[in-house]
């Protein structure tokens, strides 16, 4: 049974009783899939207790339509969370998370301006601000993030280091469907035809020799390519398929 907390203060009070037990934390926006389940399972294996949070964070959506259409599947999420081994579920309200009316924000000045940050103004400020709050609320020993959002993972890991935070940030490999498509809550919004096209995203990223080649192959295959960028040992990309924005990254 997963115990549910609807208030951060209630959780923080309860957290005090967990002294002597290690705590793992998996922050999510819900619409849980096997990628989230792998984070919960890893946390459950490495810690005495695991806290999962579900909070669709308005501050990280640059497009109000995207926020409105973000899938919300709470009952199913509760079942999956329990099955994967979450002990506690935090479901905070925006009014509690942003009681400061978003007056205080965390900003990063270089890496957050590249890749997804270039076309999504305010996105990473929204992510880093809510993750800072959630990490402080959770007070976990370890927190788990999927490497599908590799830029997010790096920014969070470096933020935790820069601010001397007490939580170890752990990134876990992207979980993929059998056809290669990276699992994402947004996949649920793809039409049947778009879902059939979607695996081409990963295939092209893996096989194209150069960025420009990948960019034009993606456009040819029916995607609207936002960027393909090779950085260090990784290739990063974002595309649109109909109304749905997908991101992925592969090791080179």
33 is catalytic: no
Mask: binding to ligand PAF, 89-108, rule CB under 6 A, as x and -? --------------------
29 or 246: CB nearest ligand PAF: 29
Strand partners, 169: 143
Q: Are 70 and 56 in contact (CB under 8 A)?
A: yes
47 or 60: CB nearest ligand PAF: 60
Only one residue has tokens 């990280």, namely 60
Q: Which of 24, 27, 85, 92 binds ligand PAF (CB under 6 A)?
A: 27
Structure tokens at 166: 């007490």
Count of chain residues binding ligand PAF (CB under 6 A): 10
Q: Are 211 and 250 in contact (CB under 8 A)?
A: no
Question: Rounded to whole angstroms, how far apart are CA atoms 51 and 53?
Answer: 7
42 or 215: CB nearest ligand PAF: 42
Q: Which of 108, 125, 149, 248 binds ligand PAF (CB under 6 A)?
A: 149
Q: Which of 29, 89, 241, 246 binds ligand PAF (CB under 6 A)?
A: 29
Structure tokens at 35: 């990628």
In the complex, minimum distance from the CB of residue 219 to ligand PAF, in angstroms, rounded to a whole number: 27
In the complex, minimum distance from the CB of residue 18 to ligand PAF, in angstroms, rounded to a whole number: 22
Question: Rounded to whole angstroms, how far apart are CA atoms 243 and 76?
Answer: 24
Residue 28 binds ligand PAF (CB under 6 A):
yes
Mask: binding to ligand PAF, 56-75, rule CB under 6 A, as x and -? -x--x---------------
156 to 185, contacts with ligand PAF by CB under 6 A? none
Question: Rounded to whole angstroms, how far apart are CA atoms 203 and 5?
Answer: 41
In the complex, minimum distance from the CB of residue 149 to ligand PAF, in angstroms, rounded to a whole number: 5
Q: Which of 91, 116, 127, 172 binds ligand PAF (CB under 6 A)?
A: 127
230 to 249, contacts with ligand PAF by CB under 6 A? none
In the complex, minimum distance from the CB of residue 124 to ligand PAF, in angstroms, rounded to a whole number: 9
Question: Rounded to whole angstroms, how far apart are CA atoms 205 and 196?
Answer: 17
Residue 204 binds ligand PAF (CB under 6 A):
no
Spatial strand order of the sheet with 3-5 comes to 3-5, 88-90, 49-54, 23-28, 142-146, 168-172
**Residues with catalytic annotation?**
36
Residues within the interface to ligand PAF (CB under 6 A): 27-29, 57, 60, 127, 130-131, 149, 152
């Amino acid at each position: 049974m997963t115990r549910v907390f609807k208030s951060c203060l209630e959780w923080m009070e309860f957290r005090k009783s967990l002294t002597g037990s290690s705590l793992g934390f998996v922050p999510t926006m819900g619409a849980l899939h096997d990628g989230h389940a792998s984070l919960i399972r890893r946390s459950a294996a490495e810690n005495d207790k695991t806290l999962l949070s579900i909070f669709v964070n308005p501050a990280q959506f640059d497009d109000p339509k995207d926020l409105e259409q973000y899938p919300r599947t709470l009952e199913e999420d509760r079942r999956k969370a329990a099955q994967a081994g979450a002990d506690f579920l935090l479901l905070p309200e925006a009014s509690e998370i942003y009681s400061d009316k978003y007056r205080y924000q965390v900003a990063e000045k270089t890496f957050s301006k590249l890749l997804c940050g270039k076309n999504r103004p305010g996105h990473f400020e929204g992510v880093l601000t809510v993750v800072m709050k959630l990490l402080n609320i959770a007070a976990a020993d370890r927190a788990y993030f999927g490497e599908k959002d590799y830029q997010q993972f790096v920014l969070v890991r470096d933020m935790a280091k820069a601010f001397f935070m007490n939580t170890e940030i752990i990134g876990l490999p992207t979980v993929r469907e059998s056809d290669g498509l990276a699992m994402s809550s947004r996949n649920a919004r793809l039409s049947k035809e778009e879902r059939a096209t979607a695996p081409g995203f990963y295939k092209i990223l893996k096989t194209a020799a150069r960025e420009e080649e990948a960019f034009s192959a993606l456009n040819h295959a029916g995607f609207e390519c936002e960027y393909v960028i090779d950085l260090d040992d990784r290739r990063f990309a974002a595309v649109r398929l109909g109304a749905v924005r997908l991101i992925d990254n592969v090791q080179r």
